[in-house]
Amino acid sequence: QKEVEQDPGPLSVPEGAIVSLNCTYSNSAFQYFMWYRQYSRKGPELLMYTYSSGNKEDGRFTAQVDKSSKYISLFIRDSQPSDSATYLCAMTPAGGGGNKLTFGTGTQLKVEL
Amino acid sequence: NAGVMQNPRHLVRRRGQEARLRCSPMKGHSHVYWYRQLPEEGLKFMVYLQKENIIDESGMPKERFSAEFPKEGPSILRIQQVVRGDSAAYFCASSPMSDTQYFGPGTRLTVL
């Protein structure tokens, strides 16, 4: 069983839709959670970073963490064609730097006009 | 403030040759990480370095792979005697004293 599970998609939605992307994890040591966006043949770009259960909002993006269920989500409101990319969840056990990230396999999202 | 820089962006090697991948972290970042991304897979951690020290190499294959981050100059990921299975995208990330890792554009290695 993988430590982090993520539906690979592809997920296709119309422009303006609300997108929900999810990851589950099995290692209860994970405490810090990130979402990265990766365009084709580019490096991952950090979107959201959170360490507490609950919601964190940044513009059209909301990150949600439920540590009791070992489940994290990223919501994208008013999705745009420019949001078409692969979204990777990542997590690490502790803060303070110097910890390797464990990634999901990524969900490919396509937002269509 | 320039981001993480990696070169070359594309590298083609024949089986048995050596591959050297370079990474210059963001200014002020003292932590460097290398990850490998195989087709249809997520990024897999390989090694974590600070200046002149390897801190965690738990993700590095036991043979043919090595990494360094010298006092001066970029971090180097070296793969000796490459095989076709080494074909992948190799990403470097850097961070200050935090968990926020910033990734470079990657080096895409193709082994013929």
pLDDT in tens, chain B (112 residues): 579 999 999 999 999 999 999 999 999 888 999 999 987 778 999 999 998 899 999 999 999 999 999 999 999 999 999 999 999 999 999 988 766 899 999 999 999 9
Q: Do the chains contact at A46 and B100, CB–CB below 8 Å?
A: yes
- Tell me the mean pLDDT in the region A33-60: 92
Q: Say what the pLDDT of residue A95 is.
A: 61
- Tell me the mean pLDDT in the region A63-75: 95
Instruction: Convert the pLDDT of each residue in A2-24 to its tens digit.
Output: 899 998 889 999 999 999 999 99
Q: Say what the pLDDT of residue B104 is.
A: 96
Whether residue A89 is predicted with pLDDT greater than 80 in this model: the reply is: yes
**Cβ contacts from A onto B, under 8 A:** 72
To the nearest whole angstrom, how far is the Cα of B29 from the nearest Cα of chain A? Answer: 11
Q: Say what the pLDDT of residue B47 is.
A: 96
Amino acid identity for residue B29 in this structure? H
Task: Using CB atoms within 10 Å of the CB of residue A46, give its burial: 0 to 12 exposed, 13 to 18 middle, 19+ buried.
Answer: middle
- Tell me the mean pLDDT in the region A67-91: 96
To the nearest whole angstrom, how far is the Cα of B93 from the nearest Cα of chain A? Answer: 9
List the one residue out of A47, A44, A30, A5 whose CA is nearest residue A99: A30
- Tell me the mean pLDDT in the region A60-84: 96
Q: How far apart are CA A86 and CA A38, in angstroms?
A: 5
